Each structure stands twice: as structure tokens, then as C-alpha cells.
Chains A and B, each alone.
Chain A
């Protein structure tokens, strides 16, 4: 099937936690064969809770003991018949395992090797230990939402941001490298920084500071800032809110119409955009009084029918239940091994046949050992058993 467009691309995936798995899930959805290298003796591989399941659909798992020489030799045999290697250990770990780029390049000349780390594999900070959440603070991302405070209220520590963003960059670079390899036969080593991945999509706010010398107001939208009104307003139900932004004249007129033409809409001072800009605070107050009387979903559709950019502040359950999102088919329910089901996400795009990726359940630990060792590496049953009994394949 053509939709599994990366079919035939084999990814050896040493990554764990979030950023790397986020990337390799995308690659798996695109049709690549992703093989997680795991360990059944290390605790971190045993925790396969709800977010693990979301990040590890569409992959295979094999368990190799990398602390042994035979285990290292085994993983090299796998890499020799693979296309991409992904890892996000601390700096130096892959070299100490004897699995650095130079070694792997010698056994697979056109390998694409992506080494992802907190702040990069070079420079004075290369050995810094990092988690994605901490890099959200270092990158300036948290400063977009709140002043630092002891309880981290509203700071942008949650939701996790740097990790999934890094995963998106990683998938992009790998696809570009695959395209390059298909044309030139050349592999690639990529040193990917999570800090830089975060900042590389913040050019708008960094340039704003560079040219104005002023920091953005935390937690307040300034894109399309000439629009009035432009903000988040409380609606009738408890803790229900709607974002509304009326920039051009037709949007303002639509807003007035949707609200049933209250008298303030016709005040002379509010008829033009410049007039409304001078009365921003007052309009915010009047609009908030109006929205507080209305159910949020009803108002949302009324405003949109009148051509006004507006939308409810959803939680994820509400997003997943929204009819448009259901039609897009992003959220899927899949059976898991233990009889439960998971809700997970497909590719965040589709083609003209509604294809949203090769989505299947996350692997159990070592589920694909036989596929990898007997199938891909062509071991005899006897050889495989010798690895198992020696604890190399655990």
C-alpha cells in the first residue's frame, strides 16, 4: 500500500521518555519499521502507563542486554541491516557502549544517526543533564505565560512542550535525510538540541524583544493585537470561557449581530477600529457582561455563523468529543494486550484517501524478539536460545 510511504525504512530506536518516542511514533505511523531497543531488567522500561502507550504505538520492541559485549555485538548486527538510529542518552553514553556514529558508520556506511540531547553534543554545556520541562524554563517558553512562582502556577511547565516539539524537528530532519540518502547514497550524523528545537520556533517573540526592547506581557495574546475585542471571556456555565477576536469591520459587525445588537454596539465612538482601540477596556467589560449570560457552545456557533473568529477554551475531553475533531479522526481507540483499550492519536494530517497512518497498539517488552533475531537477523533457533540462556536477549 503506497500510504505506508516509509515502508522498508528500519529505525533502531534507543530513545526513551518523550522526545525520541514522539518522533519515532510519527515515523511508525508513516510506515517505517521502528524497533525499540529495551531492557527487561531496567525499571524504566517496565512503566508502560497511559502516556507511554500514546507515544509508542506503531512500534516493535526487542530486549537486549547492552551491558554485555555479546549484546553490543548483537545490536550492531541489527544496525547493519537498518537505516536510521535514534538515541537520546546523556552525552558519551553511546560512545561508551561502543555505539558511536563512527563505529556504526563503519558497519553501515549510509546510516542516518540522530543524537538528541538537552543542549547539544558540543559546547560548554554538552554534559548538562536536562529534562524537557526544565528546558521550557531555560528557553524562555515559560516566560510567555507567567512570572516564575513557587507553585509554578500558570508557568507553562505543564503541558509538556519541549519534548513533543523536539520530536517534530527530529522527524523532519530524518525525513529530509532519507530523501537526501535516496538521491545521493549518503548517510548523515545529526546532533539535535532540545533547547534549540524550542527556540527555533520562537523567532516571532525573540524578534519582538530584539526590536522593541520590551518583553511580551505574559499570558496575553498580542498576535493580531490590533483587533478589538481580542481575548478570553467567561460564559454562563461554571469555568467556561470563549476566545473572541474581531479585527476587521465585518467581524465587529458580526459580533454585534451575534449578540443581538446591544445598544453599545451603535455608540459613535465604537463604530471604527481606531475608536474601538481607544475603548478596549470598556469593550472588554461590556462583552464580558454579554458572554456571561450565554452558554459557551451556543455562543461559539453564533459568532462563527456571523463570521467572527471565536472558539471555546476546551479541555482535551471536549476537544476529542468535538464533531469536527471526530470527523478529522485524530483520536482513535485501540485494544491493548491486557484487555483494556487506549485512546491515542493518529497522524495529525491525512491524504485524499483519509489515510492517517499505520496505527497499531504499543508493543509489550520484547514482543518482537523472534521477529528481530530469527527473522531479520536470520538466527537459528539454537543460536537464539544461546542468547536467551546467557541473558543477552532478556
Chain B
């Protein structure tokens, strides 16, 4: 279910990256009127896996369907002068243009057409500087942001444990989420300034920006940690000790970091005498003795299912959750109860559920989601809205402009 917060905001999207498409999708889900401009034949995003029933073919990209719900589509050949003229006309009536890397448009000209137009450019490394023309994909940006390094840090043997790769479009998706923020910022800015502004988003910079804890370490003048593990060290994340405990059918993550939480946890596992020993009496001491706590807690958790451990801990107000496989989440009761997964039937692609917005609101729900459009599904209605005659539309179609 989308919202109608952004009703009245009109946005054009030109570009074939996940980041561009996801930023447009989010604004569409929040109620904006988003038109994706595709080349005749459709955007290359329509060819990306995963495919419906794992079979490739036209209209079978589940990824594209997720990225394009609630949008309209116009096909336009921007290589042709007439195609660019139509884009110019489209720009006249919108608030925002979001474009991807390599989408070469005459922005000065577009500004004369629509002085209030805000342009968000989402590039890989930024539109300026020595890397402006450098090439990258998610694998490369993930590595260059620092995530690959810190995900495999610390490890026993760095030489045989490469930095981690990411199995999806995490960089592009986070860049899209951030670019949607930047675009709304641009809309407010344009309103204040009385004319459109240019917003420049770099996927690399966005992803790096998430590493706030490591940024703080730079201030301390410390060198980044060596990837080699210090023997015996436990893991501390933002001040709190976490354990990963084995259960009979999987694992849980648990963090009884405060004194009272540790006491409650010891009650969950049967109130053993060891838990009240002085060497476990403060958070610092528990960190020093983390492995002993692990061993002793695991003796109990191994005998139970992860759902039992998690519910027993939560019942005692101890923060604890199972470690999930992706295949388990569609059945997680809490998500079902909140209607998080949204089933959207596309033509020829039925029964797939997509993640929805992560929020519940009171009273502002919009229309049920509309499926991703076919390539150029709305070309005709959009051309008519621009006042292009039927004769001209036929002409443009035959010439391959639309």
C-alpha cells in the first residue's frame, strides 16, 4: 500500500541504474507521479535477474517489477532530435528530473524551459573530479566504500579470507533511498530559492557515509583495525556485547548487555550458580570473559529451538532474535501481521510478494499499488497530454522516436 504524502509532485526519471529506479520508486510509493523515460524497446533494467519462475524473457524481471511499481512509462529515443524535443516538453510540466550516469542532457536549455525544475543526478563517483568517468558496479563500490574490509574484520587469517563481496544491489538501493531524500531536499530548496536547484549524489559517497562508527574512530587518531583477530577478543558493536548462540535448529543473536539484562538471561537458562560469580558482575568483566559466557549459555541453547530461545529471552525482557535465512522471513508472524509483504500481480507474473514501505500511518494510505508498466504503456496518453496530434504520434511511432 502506498501513501499519498507526495500527491501533486511530478517527477521524470531518465537512466538505467538501480539507484535511479529505486529513488523514483520510493517517491512513487509515497504518492508522487513518476514517469520513467525509457529507450524504445525498454530499459536495460528490464533484463536484470531475478526472473519470474527463474526463466528469462520479456516482462519477466522480478527486480524490475519491484523497482517500477506505481510508475508510468514513456518510451522515447533521446538519440533523435525529435525525442529530445518531446523530453523538453515533458520537463515543462514536472518538478523534478532524476537522471543516471551518462544521461547527457542540456541542463541549461531545460532550465530555460522550466526554471523551477530540480535536477537530481545520481552518478557512481560524482559528476566532477578525477573519477567522474571511472566505471563501477555494486561489487566495486562496496569494496571502495570500506564495507568489504570491515565485514571481514577481524578474521583469523586475512591472507586466506578476502574482504567480503555483496550478493545484490545494496549500494544502488541505498543510493536510491538517499537520493530520494536528496530530491525532496532539492524540492524544498527550489521552493525557498524560487528556482530549481541541481542535486549531485554519488553512490560511493552515500555508501561510505553509513560507516559512522568507523568515522568516529578516525577522530581518535587510531589507525583502522588490522583485519587480523586479536586472540580472545569478543565483538562489541556500538557499546554493546553480542553473542551468537547455537540452537538445535539454527542460531540466535542475543545481547544481555546491561547488568539487569544479564541477570534476566541467567534466569532464562535456569539460574545457574556461575552467573552470579564476581567475574561476570559488570559489563567490562563480561566482555573480558565473553567466551566463558558463550560456552555456558550454549550448553542450554543447544537443547532448544531458536524460536524457543528467542521467545523465552524476550519474555524476560532480554533482547534476542533468531538469525534468519531469507526464506524464513515471509513466514515471520510480526511481518505478516503488519501486512508488510505486498502481493502485486503483474501481467504474466502472479503470486510474487514484494517488500512494502517500513511504516504504518494513520489515515493517509493511497490507492492499492499499480504494477510496473509495460515499456511505453503510457506513451500515448502522455503524448496526448502534451498536445501532440494523433497524426504526429503515428509519425513518431513509425520513425522509432516513441
Chain A contacts for B360, CB-based, 8 A: 120-122, 190-191, 193
Q: Which of B188, B335, B361 has the most CB of A within 10 A?
A: B188
Tally of B interface residues using CB under 8 Å: 157
Q: Are A241 and B327 in contact (CB under 8 A)?
A: no
Residue from B139, B254, B335 within 8 A of A195 (CB atoms):
B335
B178 at the interface (CB under 8 A from A): yes
Residues 27 to 83 of chain A near chain B (Cβ within 8 Å): 30, 47, 49-55
In Å, the complex CA distance between A142 and B244 comes to 11
In Å, the complex CA distance between A204 and B22 comes to 11
**9-residue interface stretch from B82-90, B311-319, B372-380:** B311-319
In Å, the complex CA distance between A344 and B164 comes to 25
**9-residue interface stretch from B72-80, B98-106, B349-357, B391-399:** B349-357
A374 at the interface (CB under 8 A from B): no
Chain B contacts for A17, CB-based, 8 A: 238
Taking the nearest CB of chain B, how far is it from the CB of A40, in angstroms? 19
Chain A contacts for B242, CB-based, 8 A: 131, 133-134, 152, 157
Q: Are A239 and B158 in contact (CB under 8 A)?
A: yes
Q: Are A133 and B218 in contact (CB under 8 A)?
A: no
Chain B contacts for A259, CB-based, 8 A: none
Q: Are B219 and A204 in contact (CB under 8 A)?
A: no
Q: Are B140 and A219 in contact (CB under 8 A)?
A: no
Chain A contacts for B323, CB-based, 8 A: 137-138, 142-143, 148
Q: Are A193 and B218 in contact (CB under 8 A)?
A: no
In Å, the complex CA distance between A320 and B158 comes to 22
Q: Which of B156, B209, B332, B364 has the most CB of A within 10 A?
A: B209
CB-nearest residue of chain A to B60: A211
Q: Are B333 and A328 in contact (CB under 8 A)?
A: no
- Please list 13 pairs of residues, one from A and one from B, whose beta carbons are closer than 8 Å in the complex, sorted by A's number: A22-B212, A50-B220, A51-B215, A53-B219, A137-B321, A159-B210, A180-B364, A204-B18, A206-B355, A220-B165, A223-B137, A330-B209, A348-B206
In Å, the complex CA distance between A135 and B324 comes to 10
Chain A contacts for B270, CB-based, 8 A: none
Chain A contacts for B317, CB-based, 8 A: 129
In Å, the complex CA distance between A79 and B301 comes to 46
Residues 212 to 226 of chain A near chain B (Cβ within 8 Å): 212, 215-225
Given A227-B137, A231-B139, 6 additional A-B pairs, CB 8 A: A50-B217, A54-B212, A152-B235, A159-B151, A172-B184, A348-B202
Tally of A interface residues using CB under 8 Å: 156
Chain A contacts for B246, CB-based, 8 A: 148, 150
Q: Are A172 and B237 in contact (CB under 8 A)?
A: no
B130 at the interface (CB under 8 A from A): yes
Taking the nearest CB of chain B, how far is it from the CB of A233, in angstroms? 8
B129 at the interface (CB under 8 A from A): yes
B180 at the interface (CB under 8 A from A): yes
Taking the nearest CB of chain B, how far is it from the CB of A109, in angstroms? 14
Taking the nearest CB of chain A, how far is it from the CB of B3, in angstroms? 7
Chain B contacts for A243, CB-based, 8 A: 139-140, 142-144, 148, 165
**9-residue interface stretch from B35-43, B192-200, B272-280:** B192-200
In Å, the complex CA distance between A312 and B213 comes to 21
Taking the nearest CB of chain B, how far is it from the CB of A357, in angstroms? 9
In Å, the complex CA distance between A129 and B154 comes to 28
Q: Are B325 and A215 in contact (CB under 8 A)?
A: yes
Q: Are B143 and A313 in contact (CB under 8 A)?
A: yes
Chain B contacts for A86, CB-based, 8 A: none
A175 at the interface (CB under 8 A from B): yes
In Å, the complex CA distance between A320 and B180 comes to 25
Residue from A129, A203, A222 within 8 A of B318 (CB atoms):
A129
Residues 340 to 375 of chain A near chain B (Cβ within 8 Å): 340-345, 347-352
Given contacts A159-B213, A168-B178, A239-B227, contact A218 B167 (CB under 8 A): yes
Q: Which of B128, B144, B159, B193 has the most CB of A within 10 A?
A: B144
Q: Are B325 and A245 in contact (CB under 8 A)?
A: no
Q: Are A319 and B146 in contact (CB under 8 A)?
A: yes
Residues 153 to 208 of chain B near chain A (Cβ within 8 Å): 153-156, 158-159, 161-170, 173-174, 177-182, 184-189, 191-193, 197-202, 204-206, 208
In Å, the complex CA distance between A175 and B210 comes to 19
Chain B contacts for A163, CB-based, 8 A: 238
Q: Are B148 and A50 in contact (CB under 8 A)?
A: no
Residue from B50, B193, B238 within 8 A of A160 (CB atoms):
B238
Q: Are B201 and A349 in contact (CB under 8 A)?
A: yes
Chain B contacts for A169, CB-based, 8 A: 177, 358-359
